[in-house]
Amino acid sequence: MDAFFAQFTGNLKEIFAYITLRCNMKCLHCYLGEAKQEDMPLKEYTNIVQQLVKMGASKLTLLGGEPTLHPLFFKFITVAKKQGVNCVRVDTNGSFNAKILEKPVFKLADELSFSLEGANANTHQAVRPFSNYELLIKNIQKAIRLDYQTRVTMTVNSLNLNQIIPLVSQLSDLGVKSLNLHLISENGLAKQNQQLLVSAKCWIHTRQKLEKELLKFSNIEVKVPFRFIKGQINEQKKTITCEAVKNSRVLIMPNLKIYSCPLLLDVGRNFAYFKNGKFFYSTDYQNNIFSPKNVKGSACPILTAEHKQKYFQEDTYPVCVSYKYSNKNLCNI
């Protein structure tokens, strides 16, 4: 059996397809860095999805850049559904013409996830200066009216920390059923906008407050990243571990390089690539930090390696960005 096939079969759940690096915005916190005119070829995408579904993938997220800017965007939805993907999600900045929500082909998408950074235009546009807040809200409302499963994603930064509860309240009134929080990471354009970063101490304090405040909301699920845990490695929550070592997901860039973690995208540290219809490992793969022998305990191997001093001085260590709790129940997404 092919080694790549063996590694992922039975473990793989989700594909993240970055189908284009085109973007009509230049958000201050973008973890990918500068936008580029680079699109994923549809033929290779079709082949990749076909093989990954055979390995067990049942969920696929189309993202970018802004995925709706790919000239063949709708075909990426139809191909995934034809290949047997159960759940196709589109992550969008919501800047598209509202009319496209009426297209039957768009309705084949199982979920739409809109990026929104606060409960008012000023906070949202402080990090997304090229976003049209009114259009974005109208598109969210229209998606709900048209019965799309509609979610919102917020990247928490130093300017919108106090907007989490107002946003939850606003979304709950709008009828949005799910809010997924990320905490800004020091990647991509955020490296040039350090004023937006949130310290471990500040996030732990905010997160603890949120745990209580979110209990008031029963009609919207809010997923909150832990990101930092106080205490000693290995002594806490043994079930927390690096998502990359679980082989449960792959991230594919337009140039067909394959990644295991979003923290590696801006520095181009892919572990594999797709060429001539096959998956190949990168030459240094065997030495990469994700081999199980290197990932011990619950700490994120990238963040502990690169920021060890910074976090350990605060008696704190970073855990996987994907490890989250929700106001409904503790979850890993």
Binding residues for ligand SF4 (CB under 6 A) = 242-244, 261, 263, 300-303, 320-322
- Beta carbon of residue 264, minimum distance to ligand SF4 (angstroms, whole number): 7
- Give the residue with the Cβ less far from ligand SF4, 73 or 323: 323
Q: Which is nearer to ligand SF4, 118 or 297 (CB)?
A: 297
Euclidean distance between CA atoms 229 and 232, whole angstroms: 9
Report, in Å, the least distance between residue 226 CB and ligand SF4: 11
Asked whether the CA dihedral 62, 187, 254, 271 is positive or negative, the reply is: negative
- Sort 246 into a burial class: Cβ within 10 Å, 0-12 / 13-18 / 19+: middle
Shortest Cβ 252–ligand SF4 spacing (Å): 16
246 versus 328: smaller Cβ distance to ligand SF4: 246
- When the beta carbons of 128 and 182 are compared against ligand SF4, the nearer one is 182
* Min CB(303)–ligand SF4 separation in Å: 6
Is 124 or 182 the residue whose CB approaches ligand SF4 more closely?
182
Q: Is 200 left (phi over 0), alpha (psi -120 to 50) or beta?
A: alpha
Query: Cβ distance 25 to 92 under 8 Å?
Result: no
Q: Which residues, other chains included, contact 156 with Cβ-Cβ below 8 Å and sequence gap of 6+?
A: 164, 181, 182, 183, 184, 198, 203, 206
DSSP H or E stretch at residue 46: helix 42-54
Q: How far is the CB of 199 from ligand SF4 (least distance, A)?
A: 18
DSSP single-letter state for residue 139? H
Tally the residues of the chain.
333
